[in-house]
Amino acid sequence: NAGVMQNPRHLVRRRGQEARLRCSPMKGHSHVYWYRQLPEEGLKFMVYLQKENIIDESGMPKERFSAEFPKEGPSILRIQQVVRGDSAAYFCASSPRGGIAEAFFGQGTRLTVV
């Protein structure tokens, strides 16, 4: 059973470009969480999704950030018009039920904005 798969592992974008981060949850998991980790800081909650639904996006910046988890395919975290401050590691976690305690984290996507 493969773990939570995130791709790409590393992503470099120029300021103003779009970044798309993908997360394929573990088999049988229908709940996905996105966290952001700035350098030398802990992880900060961004959004919690179930298939086709955003349940809690209280940690998402109001502009430029969006997330989806379609019926088929991976969850996508999309950042439009990236700025240097978006440089961070973005982690996805998935769980079989709606509890972060049972969630497994992926290896993360490290976004660098140049």
Partner 1 sequence: QQQVKQSPQSLIVQKGGIPIINCAYENTAFDYFPWYQQFPGKGPALLIAIRPDVSEKKEGRFTISFNKSAKQFSLHIMDSQPGDSATYFCAASPRQGAQKLVFGQGTRLTINP
- The contact set with partner 1 (CB under 8 A) reads 4, 31, 33, 35, 40-45, 48, 55-56, 58-59, 91, 93, 97-101, 104-108
d(CA 41, CA 70): 30
Closest C-alpha to 114, from 38, 15, 17, 8: 15
**Looking at beta carbons only, is 46 or 79 nearer to partner 1?**
46
Residue 82: CB minimum distance to partner 1, A: 22
What whole-number distance in Å separates Cα of residue 81 and Cα of residue 58? 21
Q: How far is the CB of 79 from partner 1 (least distance, A)?
A: 19
Q: Residue 112 in 3-state DSSP?
A: strand
Shortest distance, CB of residue 36 to partner 1, whole angstroms? 11
The nearest distance, CB 18 to partner 1, in angstroms, is: 24
Residue whose tokens read 């502009």: 63
Residue 14 or residue 53: which is nearer to partner 1 going by CB?
Answer: 53
DSSP at 16: T
